[in-house]
Structure 1
Amino acid sequence: MRRSISSWRPLLLTVAILITLMAVIARAEQNPDAPCAKCHQQIYDSYERTPMARASGLAVDGVIPADFVHAPSGIHYRLFLKDDRAWLTYQRISDSSLRSLDGKQELLYYLGSGRRGRTYLFQQESYWFEIPVNWYAKKKTWDMAPNYLQAKEMPFTLPVDPGCLRCHASGVQPSLPGARNHFSAAPFAHGGIQCESCHGDASAHLAQNGRAPILNPDKLDAVRRDSICLQCHLEGEVSIPRAGHTLTTYQPGDNLFDHVAYFVHKQQGGMPGRATSQWEALLQSQCKRKSGDRLTCTTCHDPHNSSAPAERVSYYRSKCLTCHSGSAFATQHHPENPDCTSCHMPQQSTADIAHEQATDHRIPRVPDLTVKDAAAISKELTTINNQPATPREFGLAYAQIAQHGDQFAHSEALRFLKAAETSIDNGSPDPELHTQLGFLEQTSGDKIQAVREYEAALRDDPPNSTAAGDLAVLKIQSGDTVGAVRLWQSVFSHDPSQLAAGYDLAVTQCSLGDAVASHQTLTRLLQFSPDNLRVRQFLSAITDGSARCGSNR
């Protein structure tokens, strides 16, 4: 017998209570530092108000409403909270069905404290992505994600990277083979930067009610002390994981440079027009050069506290006067302006972060706001602070730059990586080295050697989507259509954000006369890239029969 609506009410109330409890539990799980408050209440309360503590969390707890039209693409974006769920909607009204767009996506987590910016994460089939729009706090505006300000199509496949997540969240999970943004569950366990990110594993400390020791960064030698901050505040132009390591293998107390090598161009002093990370800029300062290891991030920054805006000038001035304590500085040096940083750590415009600026940690005596001429910067790479690096690491660093068309970097990458390849121990897998060598050989025109390198990479790492996708291109060029299809299917099944591989797969399937398979591939492409005009046109042509798969192809 059908129940009346009133008879469902107790069940609906129970479900509502359950959903509310689940939300409360989820919020609690985002804050595992609560046990620390038992003994460190004042520090805990202060830290909870810092940007680091609020660097990520549940989307419903961090919604910044958006309602704007992106002019170049004509898409109307809205971000809002409804029924305790966060949503993004996107819409383009057009006379052409191929250009019309109307969709929505539930948002699950946010990244960014909101002090400088914020974005949000969503998932499709356990693949996690950032939304295509960002909040830029300094200009108090919503706009497209960096590098997409003038995009004519909505970029919907911006993969979440574990290396980026670890600087915004805690308990970052390892991604599954084949795609860096594919996770078996949520990509991170706890929102914000938690105590263990700097103080290490606290389980024994908590189990013994604080009697067991816990990592105190101030007790470490300088490089390990500094590494705790540098794991997030050092970028360089290129960072290369050491063999057998990644940034995610780093743990507080380690030497960060045992895990990652950081590279910059030689003679890159001055303003290079990119967002130089704080530490590499600080290394150029006279303050650091004269103070040596005594000067570190926490000399000026209290990681447990953020000064209120009204207190920042006096707070940072007091830090400067710790060393510059003479009366000339304290009373006579620009008494009309107590803000030392306004002259000696000015905000610099950067060319690679949209709507953003970076504080100049070079601490120049006389501010130089000019952008350094790119021609004056050496093309040679060097490691930050002259840390040692192997030929493999130099080669991989140059290979990253070579992908942007730099011929000097291309030749240097080949030279270093070929030398590194000859020294690989028998049986030691190095798929990244082989993948990059394959790309370099391919762009040099040596397709036979490129095939060998890609095949070596795939023997070491079968889900390697980069090697498989590039090898598929070489196979289709050589007439091995079946081999190319097999590789593209592997790539697109492991990583659907590889849109080029998916599209090439659909075209080849159609050319082989398999319209059904091509239709399925294109449909899945639109699930991950709904505004892809080329895919839409091809799918429409197959649907209406104007693309006769297998005919004249």
Structure 2
Amino acid sequence: MGRSISVAVPDVLPNGSMPAQVSNERLNRHFDIFSQDGKVYQSEFATGSDANEIFRDTREVRWFIGSGINGYGPVVERDHYLFQGPVSFYTKPGQWGASPGYEYADLGFNRPILPGCMFCHSGRTSVVEGANGEYGDPVFHEASIGCENCHGPGAAHIAAMSKPGMMPASTAIVNPSRLTPYMADNVCMACHQTGDVRVLKPGKSYADVRPGKPLDNVLSILLIPPTREHPPDADHVEHYYSMMLSKCYRASGGKLSCITCHDPHVQPTRAEAPAYFAKKCMTCHTNQSCKIPLEQRLKQTPANDCAGCHMPKRDIQVISHSSATNHRILARPDEPFPEETFKQTTASLPDLVDLDPAPEAKNAPLPKLTLLEAYGTLSTDHPEYTEAYLKLLSELEQSMPDSVLVQAGAGRRELQSRNYAAAEDHLRRAVKLGPPRATTYADLAEALNQQGRKQEALDALNQAYALDPFNPQIQKARVGRLIDLKQYREALAAIEHYVDVFPQDEFMRQMLARARQQPL
């Protein structure tokens, strides 16, 4: 964790990893990775049938995410916005390949890195709340994950301890080993448990997460209820949930926790790991617990490897060339999921599983705004949640009409139903309630445009653009409105800027070529 992010200098990468070139022939995209003057660069380009370059986009890599166990992911910066680089270095094969999310799409250098990502991959960042990948200056108050991520704020502790005779437990440095298993696991869950959707509680941000305090105060981690047809078989960042389903965890009455087996201050080498974790197993089990004779196990390589048999590593489907440990601690490979797996919903939450409820609130309903955001996020890929979202939205229009989330949601609903005047009313209320969001202004612009009010639509898009200047949909919509208003000189400048930021967009490159041939 202390190497979770690093300044991108050539020495971070293994010898011989640069210069390199990666190609995606299906997308006609090629990438050069090289160093120059002590800096690392990535360059994306495409070629025509004559082998000449159609475009080339070169960016400096500012940081690498990752300690190198699985690899190094590039981070580029533009005007205090952070974006993922298109190719990453993978340790296992010792080569560059498509970054996660880039395997089937060309996203260029324009995939924003959001606060939830940086919260887990860095110590402390200067997040601009509500923005789409924007950060302050400096971006990092602390780059790599540090002591305070697990032990709490040091400044508060020093201030409290400096008072004569004062040693309040609430401001002491947190020692996870002295917490209850639930509270200790909350420290780990903040980053090692994804679920299907993570939703911040109303008025909260990732900066409010505090070791020693229930994670449920800040963040809800929710899972679509597993079924026998679709069991929870993912390993990537599902460590806590997988452990909960293990026989070891259930037999311990919940006393088994992440730090039972893991010491964050100790990272055994690949050679040391089998014996290191076998010793952890032996705190509950004995050599006689295993049905394979000890003599036979000692002859295997590695010898007596409990984790190798019962917690095998499996490929991560969403990250190429990477693997993760299955934390379900299987007695045998074909061990079925426990019956509890399919009975985890509650009367107050019948269609989702809450993975981090505070013990005293296990059966309490989620805040309705949290649930609304969860339904809305899930409905994009799981349309079965659309009905629940719309029903709750209608309810909240009556009970919480002054919520920005409710008014923005109602505005988008009316926009999709082509009720443009009603959409405008809701969206203007959302803007007035604030804080302003680019998506709200963009929806308002569309509602105005559909009513024929082109200049007002452009004004709203300009507001959206100011809040999210690297959003391709917003930029293209601005081009359209400028053309509608016959502001051709401004439209040409907007297209030129768009192509500068998104040169991989072939349609807009062709539009720019045509626009430059027209008299202004």
**TM-score, normalized by the shorter chain, greater than 0.5:** yes
Q: Which residue matches 1:359?
A: 325
Moved more, 532-541 or 86-95: 86-95
Structure 2 matches for 1:236-385, cutoff 5 A?
A: 236-268=195-227, 270-272=231-233, 275=236, 277-325=238-286, 327-329=288-290, 332=293, 335=297, 337=300, 338-368=304-334, 380-384=351-355
Question: Compared with structure 1, are the counterparts of its residues 346 and 165 closer, same or farther at alpha carbon in structure 2 (3 Å cutoff)?
Answer: same
Is the 8 Å Cα contact of residues 163 and 248 (structure 1) preserved in structure 2? no
Which structure ranks higher in relative contact order (CA pairs < 8 Å, sequence separation ≥ 6)? Answer: 1
| Equivalent residue in structure 2 for 1:529, among 492, 502, 512 | 502
Letter in 1 for 2:509: R
Structure 2 matches for 1:475-486, cutoff 5 A?
A: 475-486=448-459
> What SS is found at the alignment partner of 1:184?
strand
Is 1:465 matched up with 2:438? Answer: yes
Letter in 2 for 1:163: G
Q: Which residue matches 2:447?
A: 474
| Equivalent residue in structure 1 for 2:102, among 135, 148, 151 | 148
Q: CA deviation at 1:410?
A: 0.5
Give CA deviations for 1:371-423 in whole Å, capped at 9, x if unaligned: 9xxxx99993221256441232222211112123x432110011123323433
- Counterparts of 1:369 and 1:325 in 2: how far apart (Å)? 21
Give CA deviations for 1:305-327 in whole Å, capped at 9, x if unaligned: 11011111111111112111262
Is the 8 Å Cα contact of residues 235 and 325 (structure 2) preserved in structure 1? no
Is the 8 Å Cα contact of residues 194 and 238 (structure 2) preserved in structure 1? yes
Question: Compared with structure 1, are the counterparts of its residues 408 and 331 closer, same or farther at alpha carbon in structure 2 (3 Å cutoff)?
Answer: closer
Structure 2 matches for 1:47-446, cutoff 5 A?
A: 52-60=1-9, 62-63=12-13, 65=18, 66-94=20-48, 100-151=54-105, 153-175=106-128, 179-203=131-155, 213-268=172-227, 270-272=231-233, 275=236, 277-325=238-286, 327-329=288-290, 332=293, 335=297, 337=300, 338-368=304-334, 380-384=351-355, 387=362, 388=364, 389-404=366-381, 406-424=382-400, 430-444=403-417, 446=419
Is 1:514 matched up with 2:514? Answer: no
Q: Percent identity?
A: 25
Q: CA deviation at 1:141?
A: 3.2
Is the 8 Å Cα contact of residues 392 and 417 (structure 1) preserved in structure 2? no
What TM-score, normalized by structure 1, do the two folds share? 0.80
> What SS is found at the alignment partner of 1:520?
helix
Structure 2 spans left out of the alignment, 5+ residues: none
Is the 8 Å Cα contact of residues 176 and 184 (structure 1) preserved in structure 2? no
Is the 8 Å Cα contact of residues 56 and 112 (structure 1) preserved in structure 2? yes
Q: CA deviation at 1:484?
A: 1.3
- Counterparts of 2:96 and 2:68 in 1: how far apart (Å)? 12
- Counterparts of 2:426 and 2:241 in 1: how far apart (Å)? 35
Is the 8 Å Cα contact of residues 235 and 242 (structure 2) preserved in structure 1? no
Task: Tell me the C-alpha RMSD between the 2 structures.
Answer: 3.0
| Equivalent residue in structure 2 for 1:538, among 485, 506, 511 | 511
Moved more, 183-192 or 280-289: 183-192
Question: Compared with structure 1, are the counterparts of its residues 307 and 93 closer, same or farther at alpha carbon in structure 2 (3 Å cutoff)?
Answer: same
Question: Compared with structure 1, are the counterparts of its residues 407 and 418 closer, same or farther at alpha carbon in structure 2 (3 Å cutoff)?
Answer: same
Structure 2 matches for 1:12-51, cutoff 5 A?
A: none
Q: CA deviation at 1:350?
A: 4.4
Q: Which residue matches 1:20?
A: none
- Counterparts of 1:499 and 1:326 in 2: how far apart (Å)? 60
Structure 1 spans left out of the alignment, 5+ residues: 1-51
Letter in 1 for 2:118: L
Q: CA deviation at 1:86?
A: 1.8
Is the 8 Å Cα contact of residues 99 and 533 (structure 1) preserved in structure 2? no
> What SS is found at the alignment partner of 1:100?
strand
Is 1:492 matched up with 2:465? Answer: yes
Question: Compared with structure 1, are the counterparts of its residues 203 and 271 closer, same or farther at alpha carbon in structure 2 (3 Å cutoff)?
Answer: closer
- Counterparts of 2:235 and 2:414 in 1: how far apart (Å)? 30
Moved more, 113-122 or 360-369: 360-369
Is the 8 Å Cα contact of residues 87 and 107 (structure 1) preserved in structure 2? yes
- Counterparts of 1:456 and 1:84 in 2: how far apart (Å)? 51
Is the 8 Å Cα contact of residues 392 and 416 (structure 1) preserved in structure 2? no
